[in-house]
Chain A
Amino acid sequence: MIVRSLNGLGDLLMYLGTVLRSALGSWRRREEIFDKSLLVIQQSLATTVFAGFFVGAIMTLQFTLQVQMFSALSYLGALVTSATVREVGPLLIAFLLSGKIGAFTSAELGTMKVSEQIDAIRCLGSDPIREVIVPRFLGIIIASFFLLSFGLLFSFFGGLLMATTFSGLPWEQYLSQIPRVVSGFSILSGVVKCFVFSLVIATICTYRGYTVFGGAKEVGDGVVQAATQTMIALVVADWFTTFILEGLINV
């Protein structure tokens, strides 16, 4: 099993290499990429905003209970914002996006593969990776990066709203401590995480769709696999990014 999963990982990395190489010359296809990312944003914006808002609200609820034990309620805003921006926000919103974008993309690509449309493109003498995969790949990266950042922004508002209504903390006080704890590095690490996560979602979902083999049932299996594998990869990538960023700050 270990050999098989390593094998799969190697295939995935080689696929990523091919896609990145084809992506280099894709500037002249920018309109198509822009269209794709606009489509993805349109479909997922409401979900992301909603999820971000509730993530912020939940974090505020939890932290209120913990911080109250130490009667340090004035730190609430700082802690919630810092934890959400650096860690919880990107991860949970990326979970949702992987379900939404991932399932959609791998189903679409899988259907194209199974109905031999991808082979048809190859027969016409052009490269399916350049024609079909690269626009989606880059489109998803741009779109999820935008969506994740937007979700983070709304998680901040969710936290602020809950703090004023549930914890009874005036919003000036909630905001006042934020600059002390949330440094530029925290925001940077949140943004870096958003970028890494969007890369993970785009790679695995297009790969799963592209390598489907068989019929309609296999497309369904591929979708489920894409969703679960993306989530595992997200958690591992999260750990990895935190680890590297921690290392960077200590140097």
Chain B
Amino acid sequence: MFKVTFASLLIETLQSLFQQGVRVKEVVKYLDHLAFKSLNIIVVCVSFAAAVTILEASFHMKLVLHDDSLVPGFASMLIVRELAVVVMSLLLAAKIGAGIAAEVGQMKISEQIDALKLLGINPFNYLVLPRLVACLIAGVLLSLIANAVCLLTAALVTTWSLDQSMAFFMTAFRRFVLMKDLGFSLIKGALFCGIIPLVSCYYGMTCEPGAGGVGRATTKSVVSSSICIIVLDFILTLVFSSFY
């Protein structure tokens, strides 16, 4: 019988990376399947989140400083450092995480993973590693897109509802957001997205038999990856804050 713990999943996956390499074809397939198909949802959600941030930021600024001319600077800082990436990865945790856990869990209970082993294929190399690599790449690319869309919507909402010019937003953005903010944001994106396939594959591979088992594995994987993302966010923010 095929047994796995989270530590052994991690170790075996990394081991198979050095022993057998990455299956590039699978990676490309999952990039399309996991990343590209989630693009539209991410764009919609992130733009709404940006609109809310601007409205809320202007409310607070008016309350504390009686003036909302600092909104573009603060909002763009908050967006790049935190908001865009976290909203994006929580969305992906639900979409990709549930999908992966259901798929792998289905394979587990129909004994396809055991069959892979019999055929001499390392299931970690075949199932986990391509998804992990695809998600790491997708994390960087998608957080770039999420940041861009979020900032663009924020700029549009600022011009529309706060009566400030687009150029003003851009100037504030250049003043407040540093290059390393963007770098940290991309690192965050990659790590958040990297944790999703690991957690979901783990829950998929430890799935109990039956349709109920797959359902439970899916729920658990969504919840655990969301919590992992929030905790990781806390740790990374703490680490990055020592660089400022």
Q: Which A residues lie at the B interface, using CB under 8 A?
A: 47, 50-51, 54-55, 57-58, 61-62, 64-66, 75, 78-79, 82-83, 86-87, 91-92, 95-96, 98-100, 103-104, 107-108, 111, 166, 181, 216-217, 219-220, 223-224, 227-228, 231-232, 235-236, 238-239, 242-243, 246
Query: Could you tell me the distance in whole angstroms from the C-beta of A66 to the nearest C-beta in chain B?
Result: 6
Looking at the complex, which one of A78, A92, A111, A227 makes contact with B98 (CB distance below 8 Å)? A227
A58-B82, A66-B74 known; A239-B226 Cβ under 8 A? no
* Contact call B234/A54, Cβ cutoff below 8 A: yes
* Contact call B226/A96, Cβ cutoff below 8 A: yes
Nearest residue, chain B, Cβ from A55: B230
* Contact call A220/B60, Cβ cutoff below 8 A: no
* Contact call A231/B211, Cβ cutoff below 8 A: no
Query: Could you tell me the distance in whole angstroms from the C-beta of B43 to the nearest C-beta in chain A?
Result: 11
* Contact call A99/B93, Cβ cutoff below 8 A: yes
The 6 A-B pairs with the shortest beta carbon distances in the complex, nearest first, are A107-B215, A99-B222, A227-B94, A103-B219, A220-B102, A224-B98
How far apart are the CA atoms of A224 and B237 in the complex, in Å? Answer: 30
Total contacts A-B at CB 8 Å: 144
How far apart are the CA atoms of A232 and B238 in the complex, in Å? Answer: 29
How far apart are the CA atoms of A224 and B49 in the complex, in Å? Answer: 22
* Contact call B64/A75, Cβ cutoff below 8 A: yes
Q: With a CB–CB cut-off of 8 A, which chain A residues contact B64? A: 75, 78-79, 181
Q: With a CB–CB cut-off of 8 A, which chain A residues contact B91? A: 228, 231
How far apart are the CA atoms of A65 and B93 in the complex, in Å? Answer: 28
Query: Could you tell me the distance in whole angstroms from the C-beta of B75 to the nearest C-beta in chain A?
Result: 11
Q: With a CB–CB cut-off of 8 A, which chain A residues contact B241? A: 61, 64-65
- A-facing mask of B19-50, CB < 8 A → 1, else 0? 00000000000000000000001001100110
A86-B56, A99-B93 known; A107-B226 Cβ under 8 A? no
Judged by DSSP, the binding face of A is: helix
The interface centre, meaning the residue of B52, B56, B60, B212 with most chain A CB atoms within 10 A of its CB, is B52
Determine whether B108 belongs to the interface, using a CB cutoff of 8 Å to chain A. no
Query: Could you tell me the distance in whole angstroms from the C-beta of B174 to the nearest C-beta in chain A?
Result: 15
Judged by DSSP, the binding face of B is: helix
The count of chain B contact residues (Cβ–Cβ below 8 Å) is: 49
How far apart are the CA atoms of A242 and B50 in the complex, in Å? Answer: 12
How far apart are the CA atoms of A139 and B78 in the complex, in Å? Answer: 36
How far apart are the CA atoms of A91 and B41 in the complex, in Å? Answer: 16
* Contact call A57/B234, Cβ cutoff below 8 A: yes
How far apart are the CA atoms of A82 and B65 in the complex, in Å? Answer: 14
A sample of 24 inter-chain contacts (CB < 8 A) reads A47-B227, A55-B230, A62-B82, A62-B237, A78-B64, A79-B60, A82-B63, A99-B93, A99-B222, A99-B226, A100-B222, A103-B98, A181-B63, A220-B102, A220-B214, A220-B215, A228-B91, A232-B45, A235-B44, A235-B48, A238-B49, A239-B52, A243-B55, A246-B55
Determine whether B185 belongs to the interface, using a CB cutoff of 8 Å to chain A. no
How far apart are the CA atoms of A111 and B216 in the complex, in Å? Answer: 12
Extra pairs beyond A103-B218, A235-B52 (10, CB < 8 Å): A51-B226, A83-B56, A86-B59, A99-B219, A107-B219, A181-B60, A181-B64, A223-B215, A239-B52, A243-B55
* Contact call B98/A54, Cβ cutoff below 8 A: no
A224-B99, A242-B55 known; A62-B78 Cβ under 8 A? yes
How far apart are the CA atoms of A192 and B87 in the complex, in Å? Answer: 21
* Contact call A232/B44, Cβ cutoff below 8 A: yes
Nearest residue, chain A, Cβ from B50: A239
A65-B241, A103-B98, A219-B215 known; A51-B55 Cβ under 8 A? no
